[in-house]
Amino acid sequence: MTTAIYPGSFDPITNGHLDIIKRASSIFEKVILGIYDIPQKSLLFSVKERVDLARQAVTDYKNVEVTSYSGITVEFARKAKAQVLVRGLRASSDFEREFEMALMNKKLAPDIELVCFMANLRYQFLSSSLLKEIIQLGGNLDDMVPPQVSAALKKKLLS
Ligand code: ADP
């Protein structure tokens, strides 16, 4: 059985992330969405909120679990007995950082393989940070996030 970890901050989860989850869950027997507990950046949602929003968004996928973790991603992968790390690549923004992280992860854990999914054309320019700006400017997030995520963003940023 191949288990994959899809790690990230998911602050909050978007339809771009969900597209990767859907595709990964059709290839791997089990996909664990790993939400960083202590990321090196300031986040809008607490880890509990990020986990709750992600769990609500993946209920249709029976082989997808959501859990938070702290520390080194490859250690989390080892503990979960995962063989694969999944990441998503958008055209202009992600490659260099992902490449750097992939090389470091390979050094730390040569036994764990990275599988990158090219972002869907529809979601190439979708990022969690852009969503926050759109909400603050009164824009509509339909097609970008599940309804409960849109509601949570409005509550957090507009009330
Ligand atoms: P991180 O802080 O690790 O970058 P993110 O939650 O921003 O966490 O992203 C998690 C993963 O999902 C990363 O591999 C990122 O490149 C990918 N990703 C983010 N947005 C999209 C999108 N719109 N389409 C596909 N993949 C995406």
CATH class for domain 3-124?
alpha beta
**Cβ–Cβ under 8 Å, residues 141 and 134:** yes
In the residue annotation, 81 being an active-site residue is answered as: no
Compute the distance between CA of residue 52 and CA of residue 152 in angstroms, rounded to an integer: 11
Compute the distance between CA of residue 132 and CA of residue 150 in angstroms, rounded to an integer: 10
pTM (predicted TM-score): 0.95
> Is 30 near ligand 1, meaning CB less than 6 Å away?
no
pLDDT at res. 39: 61
Catalytic residue, from 22, 90, 106, 156: name it.
90
**Cβ–Cβ under 8 Å, residues 4 and 65:** no
pLDDT at residue 126 is higher than 70: yes
In the residue annotation, 106 being an active-site residue is answered as: no
What CA–CA distances, in Å, run from 133 to 96, 113, 129, 130, 140? 24, 35, 7, 5, 11
pLDDT digits (tens, 9 = 90+) for 70-114: 999 999 999 999 999 999 999 877 899 999 999 999 999 999 999
Residues 6+ apart with CB under 8 A from 128: 9, 10, 11, 12, 14
Q: Token pair for residue 159?
A: 């009330």
Q: What whole-number percentage of the chain has pLDDT above 70?
A: 98
Ordered alpha helix ranges (H), 28-127: 47-57, 73-79, 95-108
Q: Whose CA is nearest to atom 2 of ligand 1?
A: 9
